[in-house]
Structure 1
Amino acid sequence: MKRRVETYALGTFDDGKSSFAGVVAGERVVRIEPGRLGPGIETTRDILDAWATVHTELASLADEASAAAVPLSELRVLPPVEPRHIFQAGANYRTHVAEMIVTGKAEDDTRTDDELLAAATAMMDERARTGSAFFFAGMPSAMCGADDDVVLVPESSRTDWEAELVIVIGAVADKVDRKDALSFVAGYTVANDVSARDLQFPAEHRPLGGDWMRAKNRPTFLPVGPFIVPADVLPDYRDLEIEFRLNGDLMQHDRAANMLFDIPTLISQASHITPLLPGDLILTGSPAGNGGKWQRWLQPGDVMEASTTGIGTLRNIVRAPSPSTPSAQQHTPPRKDDQR
């Protein structure tokens, strides 16, 4: 798809001969030659490792985009960084939690939808005040680029989407205080957390909390990108809007301000689990409106577009499993409240 960056951003690209880090400005990419930003600095992760000292040079590189640059349209856009850790926050939008509670209403529950929503709001307020974010781990091997195909797995017939704003860490963060957390953010990008729901909560694993690895960490199930936009060229993150379109139809839309646990809290709580390293990603959760809400599951040929204002759009086409893959197995369908 045609892309344009109004300010500048950092990314990883392939010109058909090799992959390289580059700065995007407008519709052109300036290749960051090895050593340009310092000895041993070549990849985007190298740049993030040295973020405090080199990130101001990226704007200068962007100024070269009108001359020593390659048209973005001539390059393949790869995932912008190779993280060492991927944290994913589940059920972190108020609309999503409310949706799960209402659609998962038990048959013998006599409360109205309004009463359920009121109870959900009270529960979320208390959880945000006294509780903790729900994290699960992602695998870098699941990542693919902004225009790459997402390949379904034959053992699932209920695979869906989740558009997410992503934090990119720019300094080692070890047990950081919430008030200091934003200083550890290099920038932001976009992800689509593709999930095989009928693999996530099979009956055999439901007592153990579900099978998050098998459901979410398949190859191509985590498109990330297209670029990392530095935090200092974006507006307040709370004003960013996240949306998802399926074949052009709007399925998800919300503002980052509506997270249950905000970005400083997510960073602080994650950094108390393990030190966060430069280039690590924190997926911040997804708004209401994934496949469980619509009872619409991904099919070969579907076009998924996950976007965040000021950052860009992932456009991934859904493909069928390889014919050589073993035939599908039967799994217990997910409950309506199991869409995380």
Structure 2
Amino acid sequence: MNRRVDGHALGRFDDGAGPFTGLVVGDRVLRLVDDGLVKGPATYLQLLEHWAEVTPRLAALAAEATSTDGIPVADLRTLAPVEPRQVFQAGANYRSHVAQIIVSGAGPDDPRSEDELRRHADEVMDETARSGSPFIFVSLPSAVCGPDDDVVLPRDAAQVDWEAELAVVIGRRAHKVAREQAMDHVAGFTVCNDISARDLQFPPQHKALGGDWLRAKSRPTFLPTGPYLVPADQVGDHRNLRITFDLGGERKQDDVPANMLFDVPAVIASVSAAAVLLPGDLLLTGSPAGNGGHWKRWLQPGDVMETAIEGLGAQRNRCVAEEG
């Protein structure tokens, strides 16, 4: 897979001797050395803890790099670019996705036509965007895996789904941040695929208590992430970045963040009103229409998923059955 970047990006790699953090310039990786950009180890969290100082130094390193510096990306294993302490997610945050949920959820005795249901969905979403707030939940950092890693399908789930998402990486502590200042706390963006076991998400015995987010969304390998953390100053208008998801070469999702009900600043403000966002934390912003439920298609062993966001890169993950 072509992992060339325009400008520069931050990543984590393994050269066979162990993981390291690197600066990606074009299609080559410059290993970041200890006591270089920051005092001590050049780890992901150390860099993000000092992101304001690190950002211009990364740009300077990239500007000085020649076409032969570093190691070819193709010669390395690309790991997840982030090691977050916290992972927050926004659910049902794309107009196309919410419309599909409302239309497909209509009962068999509902007399409304599909056009009438879609008009109703538009009215619901307009009111939600005007007077509501994002739906936010938390998942475990241990679900994160790399952009080329296998995704393990659990034995106890038969309806495992995909969700391509734009993810925000926090670069500055944020608590009770106003929407107008929210983007000042963003280090950059990456690509995520929020894998979900739908048949475990709302178990009948716990219906009164809501969704079982742990069993449904926090399994190991259920959050393919990367390939890179692209700094915010290397991204144009994030609202226009095209998000796509292909399953076995067939396009299933295709949208842009401009169609979110609650945009990135609103999501950051909402999360920070209730929790403290820390440097390096990951914030997923929702998924467009086109999930497995819509297509009546669930992930199976042998499936190959390709999740991509324009300007941020692509990931390719194979689905495998859980052993044992």
Q: TM-score, normalised on structure 2?
A: 0.98
Going from structure 1 to structure 2, the CA distance change for 1:125 and 1:65 (only over 3 Å counts) comes to: farther
196-205 or 87-96: bigger deviation = 196-205
Aligned equivalents of 1:292, 1:268: Cα separation in 2: 30
Paired letter, 2:84: P
Query: Residues 108-127 of structure 1: matches in 2 within 5 Å?
Result: 108-127=109-128
Aligned equivalents of 2:169, 2:243: Cα separation in 1: 16
Determine the structure 2 residue equivalent to 1:169.
170
Determine the structure 2 residue equivalent to 1:4.
4
Aligned equivalents of 1:203, 1:22: Cα separation in 2: 46
Going from structure 1 to structure 2, the CA distance change for 1:19 and 1:296 (only over 3 Å counts) comes to: same
Aligned equivalents of 1:112, 1:6: Cα separation in 2: 47
Q: CA RMSD in A?
A: 1.0
Given that 2:99 and 2:118 are in contact with CA atoms closer than 8 Å, whether structure 1 keeps it comes out as yes
* CA deviation vs aligned residue, 1:224-280 (integer Å, no higher than 9, x gap): 111010111111111111110001100000011000000000000100111100000
Given that 1:172 and 1:277 are in contact with CA atoms closer than 8 Å, whether structure 2 keeps it comes out as yes
Determine the structure 2 residue equivalent to 1:245.
246
Q: CA deviation at 1:312?
A: 0.5
Paired letter, 2:272: S
Aligned equivalents of 1:80, 1:187: Cα separation in 2: 11
Determine the structure 1 residue equivalent to 2:185.
184
Q: CA deviation at 1:60?
A: 2.2
Determine the structure 2 residue equivalent to 1:37.
37
Determine the structure 1 residue equivalent to 2:272.
271
Aligned equivalents of 2:174, 2:17: Cα separation in 1: 36
Q: CA deviation at 1:34?
A: 0.6
Determine the structure 1 residue equivalent to 2:292.
291
SS of the aligned residue for 1:188 comes to strand
110-119 or 35-44: bigger deviation = 35-44
Q: Percent identity?
A: 56
* CA deviation vs aligned residue, 1:99-152 (integer Å, no higher than 9, x gap): 000011112211111111111111111111111100111111011000000011
Q: CA deviation at 1:212?
A: 1.1
Aligned equivalents of 1:38, 1:58: Cα separation in 2: 11
Aligned equivalents of 1:96, 1:206: Cα separation in 2: 23
Q: CA deviation at 1:55?
A: 0.7
Aligned equivalents of 2:118, 2:194: Cα separation in 1: 26
Aligned equivalents of 2:35, 2:310: Cα separation in 1: 32
Q: How many residues align?
A: 323
Paired letter, 2:47: I
Q: CA deviation at 1:65?
A: 5.2
Aligned equivalents of 1:66, 1:41: Cα separation in 2: 26
Aligned equivalents of 2:297, 2:20: Cα separation in 1: 38
Paired letter, 1:246: L
Given that 2:38 and 2:46 are in contact with CA atoms closer than 8 Å, whether structure 1 keeps it comes out as no
Q: CA deviation at 1:96?
A: 0.1
Residue 145 (structure 1) aligned with residue 140 (structure 2): no
Paired letter, 2:261: L
Aligned equivalents of 2:114, 2:68: Cα separation in 1: 59
Q: Which structure 1 segments of 5+ residues have no match?
A: 325-340
Q: CA deviation at 1:38?
A: 2.4
Q: CA deviation at 1:178?
A: 0.2
Determine the structure 1 residue equivalent to 2:51.
51
Given that 1:82 and 1:140 are in contact with CA atoms closer than 8 Å, whether structure 2 keeps it comes out as yes
Aligned equivalents of 1:139, 1:27: Cα separation in 2: 31
* CA deviation vs aligned residue, 1:172-224 (integer Å, no higher than 9, x gap): 01100000101111100010001111111221122211211101110101001
Q: Which structure 2 segments of 5+ residues have no match?
A: none
Query: Residues 1-340 of structure 1: matches in 2 within 5 Å?
Result: 1-62=1-62, 63-64=64-65, 66-322=67-323, 324=324
Given that 1:25 and 1:65 are in contact with CA atoms closer than 8 Å, whether structure 2 keeps it comes out as no
Paired letter, 1:48: L
Aligned equivalents of 1:200, 1:78: Cα separation in 2: 28
Q: CA deviation at 1:61?
A: 2.1
SS of the aligned residue for 2:149 comes to coil
Given that 2:38 and 2:47 are in contact with CA atoms closer than 8 Å, whether structure 1 keeps it comes out as no
